[in-house]
Amino acid sequence: MTMIISMAYFALVILPHEWVGVNITRVFSGMTRDHYNLIVLAIFIAVALALGVIVYKNLIAHPSRHLLLGYLIFTSLCIVAVSRYLFVINIECVHYIQYGIGAILIFSLLEHYFVALFITFFIGVLDEGYQYFYLSPDRTNYYDFNDIITNLLGAAVGLLLLKTYQIRQKSTSWKIMMGGFVFPLVLFTSLFIGMIQTNRLAIYPTDVPYVLVKKVQDGIWTTVPPDVTFHVVQPLEGLAAIIGLFAIYYFCFRDRITMQSD
């Protein structure tokens, strides 16, 4: 049943999230952009405060409360920075909620925090690729690493909040680590390198079928109407940020590896 719920969630909530965002925007179509952003921000802050109240008692009773509190503060600061400098419009905050819930569902299947974080991140990578290469190939000039980082932080928040409930994960078996982390990572890396070597994929503009960045940005900041300035995360920059975040969260979500299969 959990598997069915998880698959339905990713099929109905994660994959069509761009369509959902567009329709939410239509609900507020009579408002100015500033008012719309303010309302979305207020709703997101209210949700964050409600979650804080819910997990407060769990957090102060947790044996690793100082570690968890440190990670929650770090993640909150990252979210503030991402929302301030990488968003075009505040409705992008929905990524935090979508991928936070998604990570919790993945954890319920595998009972391992770090592997759940990686799989949720990997689904986000595929989702952004599906949007960029298939749904809207002519509407954007770059594969959206901004959203990838946002998705990763949302997944981390969901798992950190879940961890305050002292839900213990299984000891990491080689089976879980290989199937949930090593195999997808090796497969994706091999596919990526293979497509580059066979001239099917390129990072920057060139004459190949698929390009991650169709137009190189001039300078650090990009401005779009109506006078919205944000930063477009470049591929190498995004890769460094992703590796750094995984390295940081590993120390919170890690567990010893055993030879057990469960």
Collapsed DSSP state (helix, strand, coil) of residue 254: coil
Q: Which of 184, 210, 185 is nearest to 199 (CA)?
A: 210
How high is the mean pLDDT of the chain?
Answer: 85
pLDDT at 150 over 90: yes
Q: How remote is the C-alpha of 141 from its chain's centroid?
A: 20
The predicted-structure confidence for 181-239, as pLDDT tens digits, reads as follows: 888 888 899 999 999 999 999 999 888 889 999 888 888 999 888 788 999 999 999 99
Beta-ladder partners of 172: 257
d(CA 112, CA 177): 9
d(CA 36, CA 250): 37
Half-sphere exposure of 254 (CA within 13 A, CB side): 10
Task: Please measure the distance between the N-terminal and C-terminal CA atoms of the chain and give it in whole angstroms.
Answer: 19
d(CA 75, CA 150): 11
pLDDT at 41 over 90: no
| More confident of the two residues 38 and 151 | 151
